[in-house]
Amino acid sequence: MQLTTDRLCFRPLTSNHANAVFAYRCDAETNAFQSWVPRSIKDVQTWLEGCTDAKFNQPGNWSQLGIFTHEDNQLIGDVGLHFIAPENNQVELGITLAKEAHHQGFASETIKAVVAYCFGTLNKHRITASIDPENTASINLFNRIGFTKEAHFRKSLFFKGRWVDDIIYAILQEDWNKRKEHV
């Protein structure tokens, strides 16, 4: 699977990307709200072994796509897609961008492209995102794109040694189709 926008290209990560992934995934500021932070290149290599193209759009699996710039083919982050059981026909999204790629519109461009692909090509029914309520940048991102806050679960996740809240944002295919000409 390969997807492109004007500035970005999304494709499966390989073991060749281990050093670049480690560089942005181990940064404490970038990953303040991430559940997985690698401690070594070996952690990243093991993780990348599980990010095979064969898992893409397979129920119950997470697939990670690298986010690359067209200009210089630089890996600037990754976007995760969790394919929920086929009868649910849903996808959960997550995104991680290198600190140097923040505040340039790459997150918005990525989420819009992936949502359009999931609804348009994969014909998914619903797309969700699980967000820490303190992660205002992600909340603002998903609000701008047209996701709706559906739930706020109090102290529902044990994260980095403490119980934290979790909010769920979602968008339905029918709502995206109504909105897409305005996005």
Work out the angle at residue 116's Cα, subtended by the Cα atoms of residues 13 and 64, and round it to the nearest 5 degrees.
20
Dump pLDDT digits (tens) for 80-101.
Answer: 998 887 777 999 999 999 999 9
Range of the domain at 67: 3-182
Pairwise CA distance, residues 63 & 82, whole Å:
6
pTM: 0.90
End-to-end CA distance of the chain: 24
Dump pLDDT digits (tens) for 37-81.
Answer: 888 999 999 888 877 666 777 777 788 899 999 999 999 999 999
Domain count within the chain: 1
Residue 134 Cα to chain centre, angstroms: 17
b/e per residue 10-31 (b: at least 16 CB within 10 A) = bebbeeebbebbbebbbbeebb
147, pLDDT greater than 90: yes
In the three-class reduction of DSSP (H, G, I as helix; E, B as strand; rest coil), residue 71 is classed as coil
Q: In what order do the strands lie in the sheet with 148-159?
A: 3-4, 8-12, 62-69, 75-83, 90-97, 126-131, 162-172, 148-159
**Burial class of 87 by CB neighbour count within 10 A (0 to 12, 13 to 18, 19+):** exposed
- Provide the CATH number for the domain around residue 66: 3.40.630.30
pLDDT on residue 84? 87
Amino acid identity of residue 120, one-letter, is G
Cβ count within 10 A of residue 128: 19
121, pLDDT greater than 80: yes
**Burial class of 176 by CB neighbour count within 10 A (0 to 12, 13 to 18, 19+):** buried
